[in-house]
Chain A
Amino acid sequence: MSQALDEVKIGGLGASRKRVEDERFIRGRGNYTDDITLPGMLHMEILRSPVAHARIRSIDVSRAWEIPGVRLVLTGEMLASRNLAWMPTLSYDTQAVLATDKVRFQGQEVACVIADDPYIAKDACEAIEVDYEQLPVIVNPAQAVAPDAPVIRDDKENQPDNVIFTWEVGDRAGTDRAFEQADVISRLRLHYPRSHPSPIECCGSIADFNRATSKLTVYMTTQAPHIIRAAVAMVAELPEHMIRIVSPDIGGGFGNKVPVYPGYVCSILASILLERPVKWIEDKSGNLISTGFARDMYLDGEMALRRDGKILGVRIHADSDHGAFFSDAQPSKFKIGLLHSTFACYDVPAAHLTARGTYSNKAPGGVAYRCSFRVTEAMFFQERMIQAAATDLGMDQAAFRRMNFVPDDAFPHRTPFGFLLDSGQYAKCLDVGLKAIGYDDFRARQEEARQRGRLLGLGISTMTEPLGAGNSREFDILGIKMFDSAELKVHMTGKAILRTGAKTQGQGHETTWAQIVAHELGIPADDVVVEEGDTDTAPFGMGTYASRSTPVAGAAVAMVSRKIRAKARKLAAHLLEVSEEDVEWELGRFYVRSAPDRGVTIQECALAAYSNMPDGMEPGLENTAYYDPPNLTWPFAVYIVTVEVDPETGVWDVTNMVAVDDCGVRINPMIVEGQIMGGLTEAYAMANMQFITFDAEGNCIGSNYMDYLLPSAWETPGFELHSEVVTPSPHHPIGAKGIGECAAVGGPAAFVNAVLDAISHLGVRNIDMPLLPDRVWEAITYRRDVSGAPPVRSDD
């Protein structure tokens, strides 16, 4: 006699199931792009520009051709003859594949060599001689719009200057009125520095064009294989059904592996020309100086306040520096991503946001680095502004937030920028965090420490992130609507294979998707194999970034399981010889309502789908679901940090960090906590050390791990995680909201607020990230704000 199953035992929702993918990774048996070797494979290397802005007078490749083992040398001119020197970006701009007229940033792709061996290809790159005529360089938006600025994109018609777009959202007049009524107006200006997602694995591809079948297979590091397939079809003008993109194991993505890069395109073209597989594996400095950066935004805002602390309105202007080509990977309609999610968790009656994007002589990108399209900048500015406003009002940081939060009974809540928040318990999360950090007596401890010359600080940050882009009404990339998909095939023995259009890069989809199936169908998670990343087998999907997977693909997994269950119910009725209406479901089993002992398991139904279906029923137990989310999901979090700042050196140490995340229902708590800790570490990195900057000549500072600092186990602080508050998403099939990025989005402001809290009595209002010891020391010593905008000063 079958009985309802214990969901945790079968690895369903809420089980901290050990990860399936670990089995191969811990044995060194992962299959990353560089691990793939094909017979007859050649190797490609890229020659990059050493200068940031220059006209190319000539390129001499003759010495490269002379090196034995060189099979092909590609230049922009050769690509131009095939109309391939430029490619479309994901933001309706164009990007040079290999430079023809000019180079526009340091590290830009100028030529590439395909050879029998990667060492030979590198030798040959060094034998190429390029004659550059240097041009004036632009490294920030102020320079870009200066009256005498050189026009970077003189390749484009109708581009008389360096402005890419201007954009606005919100209610200008209503916001003006709010400011007229304000008792106090708080202002803040800051720069969110350029950052690079920098997964440890760099980008790479192996293109394999088979002349006999006319089929192109590309193994590559991509978070979005189906988008790449469409892009390759457009760029290389190949029929889409003759292109197979395979994304094998990925050594971290964080947004870096969404765009199309020149290296991919060149390896594909080389394989078509040579009819041999061509492998391109980028080195670290190539990755850091040329592929999708993030942030690099100047935010200038003000807040209208009533004396008692009520926020009346917010005004923000953003200047964003997009580098030489506008190749942001984000929904078409939103030129500055979802920056207008800023202040969403606060009840702000009126708001207005303007934005302007400009070109510069820096690498292109603008990728969603561990965030849902510019939400990181939105939340950082929000929480820095909130701290500044509370300070101006002389109010307690926590009380000011609590009084302005959207209250629990106000959901769904429409923000002044038009988003609809689904649910949340903001004050409760804050209370949990304050209690954990020991907020009540912190101010007394801080004051007492100050008397003894020690600087303690406490910083609070809250964040709510709009996840799961999108609904197809509003969200598309290059016109392709942002839905996602799942396909489930249940075999006759009750084992199953699940495929989705998402692509895991460490998030553990192979483990968690099976848990959703287990939850919906009662098939043990161990009996479900999950496969992603091969466009020939996976259903069409938009890929994994911006925390889309659980909100969209995860929802599709639940929905396809429900389709399977609906068919299984018919099979159960047939097996039990009752009508469908008389059949009830409990986990893993259908039974007769009036006789609960009479039942059949989901496995028995699966067998019947192939061996004993009722007359007229299509055989088999397979289905596909496409999920178009009705709304975004809105996880919420509170991060609180305490620090001690050394006034002599400007060095600061984290003494405590508490994270309270309400991400709705947790599919696998172990994996959720892993995601939070990873995100907090990146938040700490951005606040403390990690950034890319440029000197006045456009040299990239941060082009390797000696300059682009990532924290190791030694520097990274410990984190205390709290999961007490759970507000399920009302519109997601299993109530989940997504978690992969929250901590990286909301975390940075907590660290920065803590350091500024420690020194604000010295009259310091802002230090731009990262809070390097010399910047903090300068702020303390000279009692002034410190800007971090490029170009770096000569004394840096």
Chain B
Amino acid sequence: MTIVYDDLGDEATEQVPTRRIAFTINGRKKIAEVEPRLLLAHLIRRGLGLTGTHMGCDTTNCGACTVLVDGRPVKSCTMLAVQVDGRAVATVESLAGPSELHPLQEGFRAEHGLQCGFCTPGMMMAASALLAENPSPTEDEVRWALSGNLCRCTGYQNIVKSVLWAAEKLRSASAG
């Protein structure tokens, strides 16, 4: 697939160097021509139109832009798009299945783990990486795993509960 960018003007198109990258986004293969300086977050939001990945600070501090690259949580405002060449990217849009929500999504809703919702996609992606590695985290482990993600609304207590709720549900699903 080709990604169409905003019109850069005729002259500009010739001047701007681009590189071709091939990558996977939420399980689908893509090819893109990108400026080498393009941030991964902008490729996701503007190039792919996946606006669930938010940008809060663009300085690697808030974690709103967290996505998974080859399963590891990454702040996509701090990675260049060209760096995902040959790799797999997963965003919040990949969490829910066709008919049901991911336990993390259910957990955030059940435990009132969000208010304005701006930090939520990043929180859930960071939490999904934690739960993939550690299915039975303690409260402290959850807090530590989310310490790169800022929330201004909730005070975190309910976010931690939401993640523990999801961990429990995932465990009972795999036990069942």
Contact = CB atoms under 8 A, between A and B. Distances in A.
Interface in B1-35: 5-12, 15, 35
Contacts of A249: 116-117
Contacts of A254: 152
B56 A508 contact: no
A18 B106 CA distance: 11
A97 interface: no
B117 A22 contact: yes
A116 interface: yes
Given A35-B51, A705-B62, A712 B116 contact: no
A68 B120 contact: no
Given A37-B49, A677-B155, 15 more contacts: A18-B109, A23-B109, A25-B114, A26-B109, A28-B92, A32-B118, A68-B11, A119-B38, A200-B57, A201-B118, A249-B117, A254-B152, A284-B61, A506-B116, A712-B156
A251 B59 contact: no
B112 A674 contact: yes
10 contacts: A28-B95, A30-B118, A34-B54, A68-B10, A69-B12, A117-B6, A200-B57, A251-B56, A252-B116, A284-B62
A602 B53 CA distance: 43
A68 B11 CA distance: 6
A1 interface: no
Contacts of B153: 252, 506, 674, 678
Contacts of A19: 109, 112
Contacts of A706: 59, 61
B132 interface: no
Interface string A676-699: 011111100000000000000000
A673 B144 CA distance: 23
Nearest to B14: A68
Interface in A43-80: 43, 68-69
Interface of B is mostly: loop
B76 interface: no
A27 B106 CA distance: 10
B147 A713 contact: yes
A699 B155 CA distance: 30
Contact of A714 (B52, B147, B152): B147
A670 B146 CA distance: 23
Interface residues of B, number: 66
Contacts of A719: 155, 157
Q: Contact residue range for chain A?
A: 35 or more
B167 interface: no
B55 interface: yes
Contacts, number: 190
Contacts of A252: 115-116, 118, 152-153
B43 to A, nearest CB: 12
Given A69-B12, A117-B6, A506-B153, A705 B117 contact: no
B108 A26 contact: yes
Contacts of B5: 117
A202 interface: yes
Interface of A: 18-19, 21-30, 32, 34-35, 37, 41, 43, 68-69, 116-117, 119-120, 198-202, 249-252, 254, 283-285, 505-508, 670-671, 673-674, 677-682, 704-706, 710, 712-714, 716, 718-719
B143 interface: yes
Nearest to A202: B56
A201 B62 CA distance: 10
Interface string B115-128: 11111110010000
B110 to A, nearest CB: 7
Nearest to A27: B96
Nearest to B142: A713
Contacts of A41: 6
Interface string B129-157: 00000000000001110111111111111
